[in-house]
Amino acid sequence: MLKVKTQRFTDADVIFDAVREQYYVVMYHNIGNQNYLVSVTDNDGNIRNTSNLFVKDDNQTLIKVPGQTIGAWTCQVYYEDGSQQDLSKKRLFEQDLIPLEELPNYLDFNVAMGRPNSPTVNMSLANLKSFCQSTLDTSIYLLKSNNLSDLNSVANARQNLNVYDKAYIDSYITSFIPKNGYIDTISQFTASGDTTYSPVVSSVKGTHGVNVYLETRLTGAEGATTAGINLGYIDVSPVTGSTFTANTITSVLFTWFTTSSATTTSQIFTEGELKVTPSALGGGRIRFTFTAYINRPSGQTNIANCSASIFIPLQIN
């Protein structure tokens, strides 16, 4: 336990060292070691702890003074004697402090509460906590269980937090981008009849366009000119309240291959083009017509097996 020894010095206690021409006083504390702190106060009550002011020894401390006349100086030595603190004999405010962050672990500890001209009451932290909870004024404080529903004005709170209204944002997003996109329906692919074999087509609607996957077989002269051969079409209808504009021809290159006799290895070529041309229909619908061009090598007349995918963008009005 931390203890302190105090000694007061007057002019009569001053010793003069003629060899060093130095005045000093000696405090005999008999602690037995130098593990202590020294505080020196002069006649005016000022702490004089400076470099070389005192010399520590195991059982005494030498304090230098400015002269024979010092008035009244005080020396205090603080040391730990290794004993346990007797808390039962100390008043509450005289006992050791615990760190504030450790208070939840000391709910059985007491705090002193009182008012003028009345006895002081020691209340445990657990009791103080219960008292505060039971007497909580809900007109001033928010209840945790209400999850902010007891705010007087959600709109003002949202403004103070600088956040947007959820209902407004949901409505805005729904108006800006409908949940299911702008496309209502996509018709089945209608073959034009210009090809020997009917194409196999599937489509997937997106928010701003259509993804189309197409497979077809073209005989020797089909699609051999740069104008291409008409494969067929799909019709796209917008959702209610929206209209489309599609005035851009979309195209994509694809590979194609041939298979001749069983003894001949199939040949793969890269010069194929799938083109999509839009045209307006009634009711805001758009028709997309597909044509294919096969740039065959000279003398190549085998069936061309074509497989292509294309995204057709739509402009929303």
Neighbours of 292 (CB within 10 A): 24
Q: Given this model, what pLDDT does residue 86 score?
A: 59
Burial class (CB in 10 A: 0-12, 13-18, 19+), 2: exposed
DSSP letter (8 states) at residue 101:
G
Q: How far is CA 3 from CA 6, 31, 36, 45, 250, in A?
A: 10, 11, 10, 21, 93
Whole-number average pLDDT of the chain: 85
Q: Given this model, what pLDDT does residue 274 score?
A: 94
DSSP letter (8 states) at residue 297:
P
> Half-sphere exposure of 180 toward its Cβ, with a 13 Å CA cutoff?
8
Q: Given this model, what pLDDT does residue 84 score?
A: 65
How far apart (Å, rounded) are the C-alpha atoms in residues 25 and 51? 16
Is 302:237 a contact under the CB 8 Å cutoff? no
Q: What's the mean pLDDT in 28-48?
A: 92
- Using CA of residue 153, residue 156, residue 160, residue 166, what is the dihedral sign? positive
Q: What are phi and psi of 160, to 5 degrees?
A: -65, -35
Q: What's the mean pLDDT in 82-100?
A: 65
Residues pairing with 258 in the sheet: 267
Q: Given this model, what pLDDT does residue 90 score?
A: 58
Q: Given this model, what pLDDT does residue 98 score?
A: 74
Q: What's the mean pLDDT in 163-172?
A: 85
Burial class (CB in 10 A: 0-12, 13-18, 19+), 192: middle
How far apart (Å, rounded) are the C-alpha atoms in residues 14 and 56? 17
Residues pairing with 186 in the sheet: 236
Question: And the tokens for 150?
Answer: 């007891």
Residue 282 has pLDDT above 70, yes or no: yes
- How big is the CA angle at 88 (ends 84 and 93), to the nearest 5 degrees? 95
Q: Given this model, what pLDDT does residue 179 score?
A: 66
Question: And the tokens for 100?
Answer: 């504030």
Q: Given this model, what pLDDT does residue 266 score?
A: 66
pTM for the structure as a whole: 0.47
pLDDT tens string 172-196: 776 666 666 788 899 999 998 789 9
